[in-house]
Amino acid sequence: MKHSSKQCQNCFLLNRKLKLKDTTATALLKAKSIHQVNSASCVISQGCLPMSMFCVAEGKINTIERDLEGREHLVSSFTANHLFPLTSTVSDEPTRLEYVAEGKSRLCSFPLKTVRELISVDSNLALLLLQSACQRGMDTYERVVILQSKSAVEKVLRTLEHFKDEDGFCRLTRKEISLWTNLTVETVIRTLTSLEKKNRVRKSSQGIQITPT
Amino acid sequence: MKHSSKQCQNCFLLNRKLKLKDTTATALLKAKSIHQVNSASCVISQGCLPMSMFCVAEGKINTIERDLEGREHLVSSFTANHLFPLTSTVSDEPTRLEYVAEGKSRLCSFPLKTVRELISVDSNLALLLLQSACQRGMDTYERVVILQSKSAVEKVLRTLEHFKDEDGFCRLTRKEISLWTNLTVETVIRTLTSLEKKNRVRKSSQGIQITPT
């Protein structure tokens, strides 16, 4: 992992939505580390002390949890501009999850001590982290509904809806939709073809779009 | 819903783990509302503005999300002493989830305005809410693994482990295990009987216990 303190274009600090105090922004930028990670690199492993607050600047970081037989399960996926605090941010306890890079990714980490200190002087940072943590919970609730649904059509449509970008296009691969829905890749392909025939989805170079009704 | 400001024995403020400032504790107690809710009462409905921060004092509150066909899915379950902040705590946006009472329950709510004001003067409250929100995320990750697992034994064992109390007993009913794992009640009963025969679980009046290895 490379360490640098240069400013990041995707940095959440530059996000217009945030209204952090100038002193908070400066302190966070100063304390930040930038990590370039390659495919299958484990960013945080089970039992490791995590590095507090993270932001995915580029690429994708998947969260993997192991079941009793050692099989890996995808529990969440963070794409660029996703800020994620960890339980361990506040409890200092090791995490049982692994955060693994998909392809080439870049992420920024902010040390535990700095984040804690800043929360005590800037409550906006606390609210921002709280919002991010709650949003993660909501995202996973969506996943639970998808996994509980009986119909493949429902699973695929909800996944497309959940991962669509601002233009309404979902850029997930068939393999990724299959991992997310727990359907086989073959079923995902069949379902998409059937939805396309019924004019419920449209495929293009930008991704898959649910046909507006 | 009844409104009162009397102190609650199960109140999270009385939890020894918390080290809130006296002024924070007093302000929260003063602003708190206590709600007695009956089975199937909807505490917060889709589209309603939520009441900020909640604590389940007694009973159980289930979180329900609806799929595209209107079927209900259980996405989480909060039992007594569970504190839960909502996305809307910080974003003011309506929630698409419903929080529904199971049996007779009692819960306390803390107004948005008060919570926000207090976070700005007591960062411990912010860290506490952040921890609670992150823990909710971790709990739901566990659920995602359970729903993705192929074996009924794995699903049932993980559920027992996840819901065990301090003495190691899980007090969920067969119906509740079935809702959590998406298995039929018949499969849950068959799996539990088979695990009992293999001496991997023990049933007693206190609940079901995984046999210590």
Reported as a single tens digit per residue, the pLDDT across A162-199 is 888 778 898 888 988 898 898 999 999 999 999 999 99
> Chain A partners of B142 at a C-beta cutoff of 8 Å?
65
Name the pLDDT band for A200 (thresholds 50, 70, 90).
Answer: very high
| Concatenated DSSP letters of B45-73 | -TTSPP-SEEEEEEEEEEEEEE-TT--EE
> Chain A partners of B65 at a C-beta cutoff of 8 Å?
141-142, 144-145
Q: In this model, does residue A95 exceed pLDDT 70?
A: no
What chain B holds in terms of domains, given with CATH numbers, is 12-136 (2.60.120.10), 149-210 (1.10.10.10)
Maximal CA-CA distance, chain B: 56
The mean pLDDT value for B150-174 works out to 88
With CB atoms and an 8 Å threshold, state whether B145 touches A65.
Answer: yes
With CB atoms and an 8 Å threshold, state whether A63 touches B145.
Answer: no
Closest B-chain CA to A93: B131
Mean pLDDT of the residues in chain B: 79
Sign of CA dihedral B169, A73, A61, A160: negative
Who among A67, A91, A158 is closest to B145 (CB)? A67
Mutate to test the interface with A, among B139, B141, B159, B184 (most CBs of A within 10 A): B141
Q: In this model, does residue B173 exceed pLDDT 80?
A: yes
Mean pLDDT of the residues in chain A: 79
Rounded CA gap, A143 and A139, in Å? Answer: 7
Rounded CA gap, A120 and B21, in Å? Answer: 13
What pLDDT sits at residue A2?
40
Return the number of CB contacts < 8 Å for A and B: 139
Name the pLDDT band for B193 (thresholds 50, 70, 90).
Answer: very high
With CB atoms and an 8 Å threshold, state whether A144 touches B141.
Answer: no
Q: Does B1 touch chain A (CB under 8 A)?
A: no
The mean pLDDT value for B153-174 works out to 88
Name the pLDDT band for B156 (thresholds 50, 70, 90).
Answer: very high
**Residue with the larger pLDDT of the pair B61 and B4:** B61
* Nearest residue to B12 (alpha-carbon basis) of B133, B107, B135, B98: B107
> What are the tokens at A119?
């929360």
What pLDDT sits at residue B200?
94
Closest A-chain CA to B153: A68
Q: What is the pLDDT of residues A110-157, one digit of tens each?
A: 887 888 888 888 888 888 887 777 777 777 888 888 888 889 999 999
Q: What is the pLDDT of residues B62-110, one digit of tens each?
A: 888 777 677 777 888 777 766 666 545 445 556 667 888 888 888 888 8
Scan residues 3-62 of A and list those with Cβ closer than 8 Å to B.
none
* Nearest residue to B76 (alpha-carbon basis) of B154, B147, B9, B151: B147
With CB atoms and an 8 Å threshold, state whether B144 touches A149.
Answer: no
* Nearest residue to B140 (alpha-carbon basis) of A181, A43, A130, A138: A138
Name the pLDDT band for A6 (thresholds 50, 70, 90).
Answer: very low
